Chains A and B, each alone.
Chain A
Amino acid sequence: MLMFVLRRIGVMILTAIALTFIVFYMTNLPPNLEKLAKSEASVRMDDDAVASWLERNGYGGSVFVRYGEWLGVMPGWTLTDEDGTTRGRCIAEGTDPAAAPTFCGLLQGNWGFSTVFKQPVTEVLARSLGATGWLMLWVMIVMVPSSLLLGVLSGMREGSRTDRVLSTFAITTTATPEYVSGVILIALLASATAGISPILADAGWISGKTLFPGTATSAMDDITFWNFFLPVMTIALYGIGYIARMTRASMTEVMTQQYIRTARLKGVGFRQVVMRHALRNALIAPFTVIMLQFPWLLNGVVIVETLFNYKGFGWTLVQAAGNNDIDTLLACSVVAVFVVLVTQLISDIGYVFLNPRIRLA
């Protein structure tokens, strides 16, 4: 078991290094750097000026060296200007170059400085991850129980009326990406001119113009049912359909297994068969699916935060990517990759624990 975890962690680290390097390479492509130089120094620089600006600010070396510096496994660059002042990656402005550390990268906690938010990236990340954490938490609270329930109910008796209705619902929500469901939900519940809000407003049942607000910006300070319902539902809907379908498939398969027949012919009642014999076996597959849903949930988060203007992780990522904020984008990628890999690891280990067949095999 320990060997297994260690091996998985080894592969995970390798994957993380490969992925961060790709991101580093892609964000540090010459055109991006050129844009950075022009936005930081002067828009009207010619090519030579750009090159020398990049040279002077540590963007000159090979991409591997710069990746190493960023990661914190290579000494940060230092340069001595003509006027004798020494600047460098690890030398904060106005401090003594001699006292500065040699390494200052990701591993040393130096995640860089955001050009968009004008703050250290760590602060930007901390704030936005906190906001997104709440969103994800509520999404999970809504999504996991309801999708499992839906899946089990419809998979329990394949082909029944309940199954047909629930399956249709599930297949419809999986066909609705967040930017579609979000738009439809807003139009339906949060538009002053369409959906049910005008009707409710006319009847005097709601005080404002719309039932729900069209943005979730206020949830940054104070989460309420009203400002959080729409974003949470938008993300959860797609996931509910997807996980419910997986659960249903798994459940229908389990229900045709011979051990279910054995249990039935032992005289176990249908409800007991489902609860005691089918459920545990049927939930193994959805568990992995829920965990592997994280990359997709991350997508949902980006779309929904953009759509509802909720300044979390996804919103930050979009801002960073749209404004060539290299350090922030890199940091976002590291977090995203980390989240994905950790959930994969949990999913693998959890699978082993849920499935006695492969434990200690």
Chain B
Amino acid sequence: MDDALSWGSIFLRIAAQLLPVWVALIATFALSMQFKRRLGLYGRIFDSPVGMTGFGLVMFWVFTAIFANWIITHDPLAQLSGMKNIAPGAPLADPAEGAYPYYLLGGDHLARDVFSRMIMGAREVLKIAPAATVIAFMVGITLGLPAGYLGGKLDTTISFLSNLVLAFPVILLFYLLVTPEIRVTGIPIVLAAILFIFPVIFLVILFNSRFFTTPAKRNLYVGLTLLFGLWAYSGLAFNADPFGVWSMDPNMLNVFVSVVFVNSPGVFRIVRGMVMDIKTRDYVAAGQTRGEGPWYIMLWEILPNARGPLIVDFCLRIGYTTILLGTLGFFGLGVTPESPDWGSTINYGRRLLAIAPHPAVVPAFALMSLVLGLNLLADGLREESMKD
């Protein structure tokens, strides 16, 4: 049996395991720096050290999630005997043929490899957080635009509803929304049916308002959107995709829907506020005086000019969603016990903090660095988009 690794060699070995990530990161940075003047706002990230740091951190985790299968040293679910709560760098007690000889960051309470679980955890988070944020944005935008632009009763109603959701303490909402019992009642599916239809509505109105003057083009775009949108919709919301391409695990659907539900009102508020500001501009009046429909003005005259703050909020909100997913995991809501997601790993690890802190501390740092990266990226974007 070998000796345990020193901290120096642990880090070296981790760095070596992450080789594909480094390669991808260097390639991304090299290419982006090369062409940064031609890449618009994205290119400008590379003018700001803060933005660049944030972007680097975020991309590190993105690439880690993509290449996770190559990076992990052990099956994240495998329990190896003798490795329970073992310290970082410990050699395997009973190495099988060809297995990686160490638990680089130690073992957890069920003798699983903390390092591999942390890597796979990145994939769990990045599978849900960006997608959920995108849907939340579609919902928030589709409701926020008319509320801000048209105002009146519509605005009062939607604003009241969104304030309802915002007034709910998030944890209470999760405890009510993400339980096995609730799945039986079908409420998540109803919510999914409501929330998931918004992207389809959004895209249909988007194309229709722009291309209704040339029906051929309009029919093509709207038709394609409806075809693919409703196909994906049937699969994701109702698990009824005839071809079986789109589907979502009911557990995951529950989590996903709740996170979208919690995030949408925030997006709604921001969009509404920005629309109320932008709608007083003369180019909006110009659109009105040439007889444009309200949706064209909202989607093509107002929305593109609100993009700066929305992109910044998008980054922040992915971070917030990551925190929410962690919270869910921390309370053991909507996750299977063996799931490697960071929140539940922290939850199981925290009980043994006094004797073996590493199973909880490792995912804690992982989560923090991802959120920090997103916040820094948002800060950099905000700074750069204000310079003009």
Q: Is A23 among interface residues, defined by CB-CB distance under 8 A?
A: yes
Interface residues on B, range: 35 or more
Interface residues on A, range: 35 or more
Distance (whole angstroms) from the CB of A299 to the closest CB of chain B: 5
| Residues 13 to 36 of chain A near chain B (Cβ within 8 Å) | 14-15, 18-19, 22-23, 26-27, 29-32, 35
| Residues 174 to 194 of chain B near chain A (Cβ within 8 Å) | 175-177, 181-182, 184-185, 187
Distance (whole angstroms) from the CB of B162 to the closest CB of chain A: 11
Q: Is A58 among interface residues, defined by CB-CB distance under 8 A?
A: no
Q: Is B168 among interface residues, defined by CB-CB distance under 8 A?
A: yes
A23-B176, A27-B176, A187-B361 in contact; A175/B353 too (CB < 8 A)?
no
Q: Provide the residues of chain B in CB contact with A180, threshold 8 Å.
A: 326, 346, 364-365, 367-368
Distance (whole angstroms) from the CB of A14 to the closest CB of chain B: 8
Per-residue CB contact flags for chain A residues 177-216 toward chain B (1 = under 8 Å, else 0) read 1011011101100111111000000000000001000100
Q: Is A268 among interface residues, defined by CB-CB distance under 8 A?
A: no
Within the assembled complex, what's the spacing in Å between the Cα atoms of A295 and B323? 15
A171 touches B355 (CB 8 A): no
Q: Is B142 among interface residues, defined by CB-CB distance under 8 A?
A: no
- Please report the number of residue pairs spanning A and B whose Cβ atoms sit closer than 8 angstroms: 144
Q: Provide the residues of chain B in CB contact with A31, threshold 8 Å.
A: 181-182, 184-185
Q: Provide the residues of chain B in CB contact with A115, threshold 8 Å.
A: none
A298 touches B164 (CB 8 A): no
Distance (whole angstroms) from the CB of B323 to the closest CB of chain A: 5
B364 touches A295 (CB 8 A): no
Q: Is B227 among interface residues, defined by CB-CB distance under 8 A?
A: no
| Residues 315 to 368 of chain B near chain A (Cβ within 8 Å) | 319, 323, 326-327, 330-331, 343, 346-347, 349-350, 353-358, 360-361, 364-365, 367-368
A191 touches B357 (CB 8 A): yes
Within the assembled complex, what's the spacing in Å between the Cα atoms of A329 and B364? 29
A193 touches B354 (CB 8 A): yes
Within the assembled complex, what's the spacing in Å between the Cα atoms of A310 and B325? 24
Within the assembled complex, what's the spacing in Å between the Cα atoms of A300 and B160? 25
Q: Is B171 among interface residues, defined by CB-CB distance under 8 A?
A: yes
Contact of B169 among A11, A14, A29, A336 (CB under 8 A): A336
29 CB < 8 A contacts A-B: A14-B160, A19-B164, A31-B185, A172-B368, A174-B375, A175-B368, A175-B372, A176-B368, A176-B371, A177-B323, A179-B330, A180-B326, A183-B349, A183-B364, A186-B350, A186-B353, A186-B357, A191-B355, A191-B357, A295-B170, A299-B171, A306-B331, A307-B350, A317-B171, A321-B175, A336-B169, A337-B168, A340-B169, A344-B167
Interface positions of A (Cβ within 8 A of B): 11, 14-15, 18-19, 22-23, 26-27, 29-32, 35, 171-172, 174-177, 179-180, 182-184, 186-187, 190-195, 210, 214, 295-296, 298-299, 302-303, 306-307, 314, 317-318, 321, 329, 332-333, 336-337, 340-341, 344
Closest 8 pairs (CB-CB, A-B) = A175-B372, A31-B181, A187-B357, A321-B175, A175-B371, A26-B176, A180-B364, A298-B169
10 new A-B contacts at CB < 8 Å, known A22-B176, A26-B176: A11-B160, A27-B176, A35-B181, A174-B375, A180-B326, A184-B365, A193-B356, A214-B354, A336-B168, A337-B168
